[in-house]
Chain A
């Protein structure tokens, strides 16, 4: 088939002239494949989280610096702006989850950010005793348990039921650890009370879910009965 305007021969795959865009009558029996695949390579709209994070942090740090300067001008020494700066550093460590692909780095940064924020508050209010013996270890233990659980979730690719039981177990552990630390801080003697009331039912549910997770048939039966 020839384009009557351009005089060029069109390959069977063409149904209009690519040069002058004249539509030509399709020849009979032409089942020719198009010259290129119909698929389109489109990378879509990727959001550049790293860039956005850096931009947000830049604005936060600039505003933090301005706050600091205002504080110096008004009071002559840094007082309330220290809280603002500590909070900004904490937000920055939170934002690192968007920035780093390796989430462990962000998790460690996050721990330091939180500890630092609370340290600042304790230091400014003469509460170092409270901070060192209660808050710091407690936050560290909770952080460790949460990180370990998330690590297990990701690495072991658990079934839903087993993930639920692990989650419940972590909560029970956190409750017990918290009471132990509070007891040690206030009386130096461990006397578990409220955490047991809270964690025992949780542990029982956790155990039941854990046992059920081995029984596929039972899970299917439950699913069948209670599906929404």
Chain B
């Protein structure tokens, strides 16, 4: 299929461009570590081949009279050296106008995406397809294709570009009112810095523990986080007038038939209200599990994004010129974007890396960029029997991270950590 010359932003992507500031943009980063040092020339070649199959990533952001839109571009983004403070706002001009960055550090390849372009699923597809092509070019080894590793000989499909929100929109939409959430306070890092701490956990050990508590990994880890926030509130004698809420992105492809590589995710915000009293871990798990069951189902999710799509389709919003609309969205994002949750916890889940490819790959990583108003975010990805959970934060204090990992250790789970503070 001939790729489209231009396309509209999908419904979820609309909020990201107006919120971009020099110090903040909604970014996320996916990494893969190979066993050997990366050859940049081969990587550039692999990237060139991959973008032919995945043209939905070769788009630039442009401003129209009424909306932002995406315009097709050629070439590849520059391959940059990795840095200590990743996921800064992309200077599109320096990046050949691409909306994702490619960074290399020794054996590690990192892709940093601007969220308006794609979500985690699209990002993982690009990363894995690129890695397979890189391995093919470097070692001459053909490894199998999976759902996330696409065959470069195939033609790009129309469904991979589609705005699935519009396709699956329902008749009735409602945007539920949320209440403001507790926020962690701390001394702010310089605006260009980011604290990154990654913990590596054996997935089997965690699974056993989850079986004991009869819950999923996402529920378990979220509950531990709730416990940490509760401890911090108690230790610091913080006011408990606002509930602790954690925003969990939900991949809508699980509920609706879609293979799109653009945004197709929603979120739910489970909460615990500590002013009612202190919760135990079992109680939190029960609470979170129940809330997720209540919120994460096809009907509820559809009504949520239908509300957003209906809003976008309103006549008076459509005819508003871009600069007014975007200013309004930017202000509303500033005031309300991070107001309704304490932190974000995005669990990508298990990535299936074929055995043949595992010979060349050691680990993967996933992290979310600097937040605008909340202290930080947590992201998690699992592959090859390991779970990598990465905390990014914009404050000096690492109390939340410390409590989280020590709680896991006290439950008998081995954790190994690394950070971007090493060697300092």
Whether A43 contacts B91 by the Cβ 8 Å rule is yes
Chain A, 33-69, contact with B by CB distance < 8 Å: what is the 0/1 string? 1111111111100100000000000000000000000
Residues of chain A contacted by B307 (CB below 8 angstroms): none
Establish whether residues B416 and A35, one from each chain, have CB atoms under 8 Å apart when the complex forms.
no
Give the size range of A's interface with the partner: 20 to 34
Known interface pairs A39-B82, A43-B91. Does A20 touch B420 (Cβ–Cβ under 8 Å)? no
> Contacting B84 at CB < 8 Å: which of A11, A18, A38?
A38
B200 and chain A: residue at smallest CB distance: A11
Kindly identify, within residues 353 to 377 of chain B, every residue whose CB is under 8 Å from any CB belonging to chain A.
none
Contact B406 A36 (CB under 8 A): no
Separation of A204 and B106 alpha carbons in the complex (Å): 60
**Contact of A14 with B419 in the complex, beta carbons under 8 Å:** yes
Instruction: State in angstroms the CA–CA spacing of A34 and B416 once bound together.
Output: 15
Tell whether B162 is near chain A: CB-to-CB under 8 Å: no
Residues of A near B82 (CB, < 8 A) are: 36-37, 39
Q: Which residues of chain A from 79 to 110 have a CB within 8 Å of any chain B CB?
A: none
Which of A1-9, A131-139, A186-194 touches B?
Answer: A1-9
Contacts of B296 in A (CB 8 A): none
Interface presence of B65 (CB below 8 A): no
Proximity string of chain B (393-424) to chain A, C-beta cutoff 8 Å, 1 when within and 0 when not:
00000100110011001100011111111110
Q: Chain A residues near B402 (CB, 8 Å)?
A: 6, 19-20
Q: Is the C-beta of B155 less than 8 angstroms from some C-beta in chain A?
A: no
- Contacts A39-B82, A41-B192, A42-B192; is A8 near B417 (CB within 8 Å)? yes
CB neighbours (8 Å) of A35 from chain B are: 198, 418-420, 422
Question: A7 near B423 (CB under 8 angstroms)?
Answer: no
Q: Does B337 count as interface, using CB distance less than 8 angstroms?
A: no
Tell me, in angstroms, the Cα distance from A93 to B88 when the chains sit together.
Answer: 36
Q: A37 near B409 (CB under 8 angstroms)? A: no
Bound together, the chains give a CA A43 to CA B13 distance in angstroms of 25
Candidates B91, B192, B197; contact of A19 at CB < 8 Å = B197
Inter-chain contacts of A10 with B (CB < 8 A) = 416-418
Any B CB within 8 A of the CB of A13: yes
B415, A21: Cβ atoms closer than 8 Å:
no
B214 at the interface (CB under 8 A from A): no
Residues of A within 8 A of B45 (CB): none
Of B89, B417, B419, B423, which is within 8 A of A9 by CB?
A: B417
Quote the shortest CB–CB distance from B408 to chain A (angstroms). Answer: 8
Asked whether B416 lies within 8 Å of A18 as measured between CB atoms, the reply is no
Partner of B418, one of A13, A39, A41, A46: A13
| Of B200, B417, B420, most A-chain CB atoms within 10 Å | B417
B52 to chain A, nearest CB (A): 29
Tell me which of B192, B193, B416, B419 contacts A43 (CB under 8 A).
B192
Say yes or no: A13 contacts B422, CB within 8 Å. yes
Q: Chain A contacts of B197 at CB under 8 A?
A: 18-19
Instruction: Tell me if B83 and A8 are in contact (CB < 8 A).
Output: no
B422 touching A36, Cβ below 8 Å: yes
Q: Are B406 and A8 in contact (CB under 8 A)?
A: yes
Residues of chain A with a CB closer than 8 A to B422's CB: 11, 13-15, 18, 34-36
Candidate in A17, A19, A38 with the most chain B CB atoms within 10 angstroms: A19
Q: Could you tell me the distance in whole angstroms from the C-beta of B84 to the nearest C-beta in chain A?
A: 5
Within 8 Å CB of B415, what residues of A? 8-9
Q: Give complex CA distance A39, B86 in Å.
A: 10
Determine the distance from Cα of A13 to Cα of B420 in the docked complex, in whole angstroms.
Answer: 9
Residue of B88, B193, B416 near A11 (CB, 8 A) is: B416
Q: A21 — nearest CB in chain B belongs to which residue?
A: B398
Q: Give the distance to chain B from A7, nearest Cβ to Cβ, in Å.
A: 4
A17 to B417, CA, bound (A): 8
Q: Are B423 and A13 interface neighbours, CB within 8 A?
A: yes
Asked if B167 lies at the interface with its beta carbon under 8 angstroms from chain A, I say no
Whether A7 contacts B406 in the complex (CB less than 8 A), given A34-B422, A35-B420, comes out as yes
In chain B between 86 and 114, which residues have their CB closer than 8 angstroms to a CB of chain A?
Answer: 86, 88-89, 91, 105-106
Residues of B within 8 A of A11 (CB): 200, 416-418, 422
Name 13 A/B residue pairs within 8 A (Cβ), A-sorted.
A6-B402, A6-B406, A8-B415, A11-B417, A18-B417, A19-B401, A19-B402, A36-B83, A39-B84, A40-B83, A40-B84, A40-B85, A43-B89
Show the binding face of A for B, using Cβ within 8 Å: 6-11, 13-21, 33-43, 46
The chain B residues found within 8 Å of chain A, CB to CB, are 22, 81-86, 88-89, 91, 105-106, 192-193, 196-200, 398, 401-402, 405-406, 409-410, 414-423
Q: Taking A15-B423, A37-B81, A37-B82 as given, write out 19 further A-B residue pairs in contact, using a Cβ cutoff of 8 Å, ordered by the A residue number.
A: A6-B402, A6-B406, A8-B405, A8-B409, A9-B416, A10-B417, A11-B418, A14-B417, A14-B419, A14-B421, A15-B422, A19-B401, A20-B398, A36-B86, A36-B422, A37-B83, A39-B81, A39-B84, A41-B85
